Structure 1
Amino acid sequence: MSEHIRIEDSGGVREITFARPDKKNALSNAMYRAAREALESAQGDPAVRVVLLSGEGDAFTAGNDLADFAAVATGKSDVVEALPFVEALARADKPIVAAVPGLAVGLGTTMLLHCDLVYVAEGARFTTPFVDLALVPEAASSLLLPAHIGHVRAFAMFALGEALDASEMLELGLANAVLSQDEVLPAAREAATRLAAKPLGALVATKRLMRDAEALVAQTRAESAVFRDRLQSAEAREAFTAFMERRPPDFSRC
């Protein structure tokens, strides 16, 4: 388990909170493991009917802890725990609700594509700046995001690092409602409670009909293979070295 993942069960809802507000809830390997275990155990627990993801403070999550990526890029580690967590999201049969109080970067945005209901705060911003880090999209987002918003808009998010704001998320069908920051978590909890009162078999069957979990897992694994190669590339070493040295990267060196 991780001290930065808070898990609470109540009324058929398992609430998984990213609780590292001093780091904008950036996800460490330990946090990925704890969140994955909570997701997977929810699938087999008859007392859990819905999962709710949220973030403590004014961020949902800033995505992967860049220190972990930098350790892989510089050869100090070969461990990245994001893939098992993403596969657990893709395979989840029970409904997943997300409460997004603010910033969502990288996987913070792409994991929302696996959620069934999404409530976002007015000031939230959503970015997927993978190419800036010499990386590629993950969490099957190279398939899911273009399917939702079109190739050119998705490419601009991936390659140029362009952001979506909360109102654009709503207009593009990526969010159910835009609310004040204080209203986001209560609205998500209310929706999760409503879902928990419905026939679970019908909910699970509906979700299975609406998405192809095996196709999403296959895409995630294909992305992950390229992602790992990119993490060990000269471009990634330059990107993460520049980040740690607080300077602009110079990819002409590569």
Structure 2
Amino acid sequence: MDILTRKESGVLTIEFNRPDKKNAITSAMYQLMADALKDAEADAAVRAILITGKPEVFTAGNDLDDFMKNASAGVGDRPVAQFMRALSTAGKPVVAAVAGNAVGIGTTMLMHCDLVYAAENAKFSMPFTQLGLCPEFASSMLFPAMVGYQRAAEKLLLGEAFLADEALDIGLVSRVLPAADLLQFAQSQAAKLAALPASSLRVTKALLKGGQAQAVQARMQEENKHFGEMLGAPEAKEAFTAFFEKRRPDFSKFA
């Protein structure tokens, strides 16, 4: 299975399990995760959620071959949108344990988690402009609010990767740990959450979100509109063609 799920002692663990493809995410994987989150929200036995990958890689982001095969579907209707809606509206605390690369949506999804722990080998990137696209799933709103406009602009406009220490410095992650200790620590934090009163956690999380839920969903819809339009534009076609042809894209011919 490319996505592993297990429930233990009040914690639902969702694990990327496609190491041969660097945990690149397909539509089927998004659907499995969306369904798991929806089930967890309705399951009183689940009191916390943990999302993790492998020690070598969290996720390389979208599986581009699968992504392009489904490009005709509306962005807001795709399983990825179902997953991100479920994650962004989760009432229960969500912990993420990130080792290795967290590319594109691998970084975007962290903005919707409550506690984010990174291994020393973690590497984050949001290369949307490099693909002729724009930010996704409210990252254009959440990231500047989290790290400040200038830092967010540098990461989102240039799309360049940054390492765990910088992610900690700017506030994207809660803590950086040795790779060997990451998962056990994240599991222990999730177990602490699961042992606390569920109602207290639910209310505290809602208060922390500060009534931004509607704004997040509105920004997601706005980004989806732009993203869908840009996905069919010449710049994105050049970027994806270059990727599959293993060459550098040439955007100089586009105004």
The normalised TM-score by structure 1 is 0.94
Gaps of 5+ in 1: none
Query: Alignment partner of 2:25: what SS?
Result: coil
Distance 1:72 1:253, change over 3 A: farther
Q: Secondary structure at the match of 1:99?
A: strand
Structure-1 separation of matches of 2:67 and 2:208: 33
Q: Is the 8 A contact 1:132 1:161 kept in 2?
A: yes
8 Å CA contact 1:69–1:231 kept in 2: the answer is no
**Equivalent of 1:101 in 99, 102, 122:** 99
- Does structure 2 conserve the Cα–Cα contact (< 8 Å) formed by 1:70 and 1:241? no
Say which SS state the counterpart of residue 252 (structure 1) adopts: coil
| 1:58 match | 56
Partner of 1:217: 217
Match of 1:98, SS?
Answer: strand
Q: Deviations over 1:205-227 (max 9, x none)?
A: 01111112222112111111111
Task: Return the alpha-carbon distance in structure 2 between the equivalents of residues 102 and 214 of structure 1.
Answer: 32
Structure 1 residue 72 displacement after superposition:
5.0
What is the CA distance between 1:253 and its match in structure 2? 3.8
Distance in 2 of aligned mates of 1:81 and 1:12? 26
Residues 76-97 of structure 1, C-alpha deviations (whole Å, 9 max, x = no match): x436432111111111000000
Match of 2:170 among 169, 172, 176: 172
CA displacement, residues 114-171 of structure 1 (integer Å, 9 cap, x when unaligned): 1111110001111101000001111210001011112221121112122221111222
Contact 2:93 2:205 (C-alpha < 8 Å) held by counterparts: yes
Q: Secondary structure at the match of 1:159?
A: helix
* Pairwise CA distance, 1:56: 2.3
Tell me what 2:238 maps to.
238
Tell me the CA shift for residue 70 of structure 1: 3.0
Which residue number in structure 1 is paired with residue 252 of structure 2? Answer: 252
Determine helix, strand or coil for the equivalent of 1:135: coil
1:78 and 2:78 matched = no
Which consecutive unaligned segments of at least 5 residues does structure 2 have? none
Aligned length: 249
Range that drifts further, 57-66 or 120-129: 57-66
Q: Which of 189, 193, 201 is equivalent to 1:191?
A: 189
Segment drifting more, 36-45 vs 79-88: 79-88
- State whether residues 26 and 67 of structure 2, in contact with CA within 8 Å, keep that contact through their aligned partners in structure 1: no
Say if 1:13 and 1:193, in contact at 8 Å, map to a contact too: yes
2:160 to 150, 154, 162: 162
**Structure 1 SS opposite 2:252:** helix
1:104 aligned counterpart, secondary structure: strand
Quick one: which amino acid aligns to residue 154 of structure 1? A
Percent of pairs with identical residues: 49
Measure the CA separation in 2 of the matches of 1:244 and 1:72: 16
Q: Which residue in the other structure is 1:6 paired with?
A: 4
Match of 1:17 in 2: 15
Q: TM-score, with normalisation over the residues of structure 2?
A: 0.94
Mapping of residues 123-138 of structure 1, within 5 Å: 123-138=121-136
> 2: CA distance between counterparts of 1:238 and 1:57?
33
Provide the aligned C-alpha RMSD in A: 1.3
User: Contact 1:4–1:20 at 8 Å: present in 2 too?
Assistant: yes
